[in-house]
Amino acid sequence: MGSTPEFVTVLAEKTVTIGQDITLSCEANSSKVTAEWKKAGDTLKCVEGKRKVGNTDTKFYLEIKDAKPEDEGYYTLSLSNASGSCSCSAMVFVELKEWREVEKEQEPLISTLKSFKICSEEVRELRFLLHGPVGAGKSSTINTLKSIFEGHQFLNCLATNSDTVSGMSFTTKYQKFSTGTLPFAFYDVMGLEVGHKGVHTEDIINAFKGHIPDDYEFREDMPIIEEHRDYITSPTINNKIHCLVSVIPADRLSMMSEDVIKKMRNIRAEASKLGIPQIVFMTRVDKACKLTSEDLGKIYQSKKIRDKITMCSNKLGVTENCIFPVKNYHNEIGSNEQLNCLALQAFTQIVYSANDYINRWSSRQKQFE
Ligand SMILES: Nc1nc2c(ncn2[C@@H]2O[C@H](COP(=O)(O)OP(=O)(O)OP(=O)(O)O)[C@@H](O)[C@H]2O)c(=O)[nH]1
Ligand SMILES: [Mg+2]
């Protein structure tokens, strides 16, 4: 009886650009085996002009011509004979043609934002509210943007240092963060959770309407009431939110509960009624895609990220061009220009959207003068 087949060399991970050919190969200790290639449970056979499987003596190979996005995946080769079997697997990534342009230099983006002027003198600062599920990276996003503008050593003291979602929001206050002398302010809120836990949707709606005072401590048992001593009864444009940012973790998108998604849709519907612009920041992209985690500059060539954006668009009912994938400073030591560029591109978008909102508000004011 022969011996169990064994690999002399194993399959290696591959990254190809769309349209290129893919070759996976490895070597076994014998050619007298039955070889089976599989991807996602399907056995792969030869397909004229597209796919070839075979072996030259002990070298086994799989060739795929003209890589398409659907060729991305986890490929397994199993070898068997009467004595037993063995298998090995490798991931194949198919990079798409860049579907959005990545900025490579941060300086032009920073200087445009530094010289930015709000279109109305009555408005002191553009105010952004970040909301989303617990642990989505809301506080980290604020931290990332603040550290880019303030140029200090990154310190993620606002965010939880735990990567596991405990089910309890680390942020419990309605907290304002300014960006030095620039006319931008971020508002951080408690995360959304399933059922009666986390921040109430009414609190978020009241926040963007301008009724919630700075440093208000959110209560899980009830939303703010008009009788609260600091409730802002007649908010001005300087109390209101000018752009709503939904923060969604790319790696947990498929696990997000229906309940949280429904809450987010309700919040978005209320913001739409008031004409407040809405943008999505899709965080934790490095956790969702290996290609991106290895080279952030390839984010707009990643099929995984593209698919996540489509999924996010379907779940929240937002158009894809309003979704910006970003990576936050997490455990990096120094500054990372590519990370900054992605964050700055997304930030530029919310600045212009908020300014448009102010522009519309100011035109309406003039009509009544
Ligand atoms: N790898 C990675 N980790 C991230 C990223 N953004 C945030 N994190 C981590 O995710 C965890 C949650 O981040 P937070 O910023 O505290 O999330 P949050 O939305 O403010 O959470 P709550 O205030 O608890 O609702 C922390 O451990 C962060 O360091 C990212 O882009 N990549
Ligand atoms: Mg937080």
Interval 112-136: pLDDT, tens: 999 999 999 999 999 999 999 999 9
- Phi, psi angles (nearest 5°) of residue 43: -75, 135
Other Cβ atoms within 10 Å of 55 Cβ, number = 15
Q: Does domain 7-95 have CATH number 2.60.40.10?
A: yes
> What was the pLDDT predicted at 102?
84
> Which range among 1-10, 190-199, 290-299 shows the weakest confidence by mean pLDDT?
190-199
Burial of 304 (0-12, 13-18, 19+ CB in 10 A): middle
Q: What are all long-range contacts of 302-307, with beta carbons under 8 Å and residues at least 24 apart?
A: 302/93, 302/95, 302/96, 303/69, 303/72, 303/93, 303/94, 303/95, 303/96, 304/72, 305/250, 306/96, 306/99
Question: Which atom of ligand 1 is found nearest the CA of 247?
Answer: 19
Q: Which ligand is nearest to the CA of 155?
A: 1
Is it the case that residue 26 has pLDDT exceeding 80?
yes
Q: Containing H/E element for 64?
A: strand 59-64
Other Cβ atoms within 10 Å of 112 Cβ, number = 12
Q: How far is it, in rounded angstroms, from Cα 299 to Cα 47?
A: 31
Q: How far is it, in rounded angstroms, from Cα 261 to Cα 131?
A: 12
Express each pLDDT in 194-209 by its tens digit.
887 888 899 999 999 9
> What was the pLDDT predicted at 103?
87
Q: What is the CATH number of domain 106-368?
A: 3.40.50.300
Q: How far is the CA of 284 from the centre of ligand 1 (A)?
A: 8
Return the residue whose CA atom lies nearest to atom 12 of ligand 1.
Answer: 135
Mean pLDDT, rounded, for 282-301? 93
pTM of the model: 0.86
Pocket test for ligand 1, best of 160, 218, 247 (most atoms within 8 A of CB): 160
- Domain boundaries, given as residue ranges, for the chain: 7-95, 106-368
Q: How far is the CA of 31 from the centre of ligand 2 (A)?
A: 57
> What was the pLDDT predicted at 160?
62
Q: How far is it, in rounded angstroms, from Cα 206 to Cα 240?
A: 9
Please give the structure tokens belonging to residue 202.
């009414």
Inter-CA distances, 75 with 24, 60, 88, 89, 344, Å:
9, 13, 8, 5, 37
Express each pLDDT in 27-77 by its tens digit.
999 999 999 999 989 999 999 999 999 999 999 999 999 999 899 999 999
Residues with CB under 6 A from ligand 1: 134-140, 156, 159-163, 169-171, 191, 283-284, 286-287, 327-328, 330
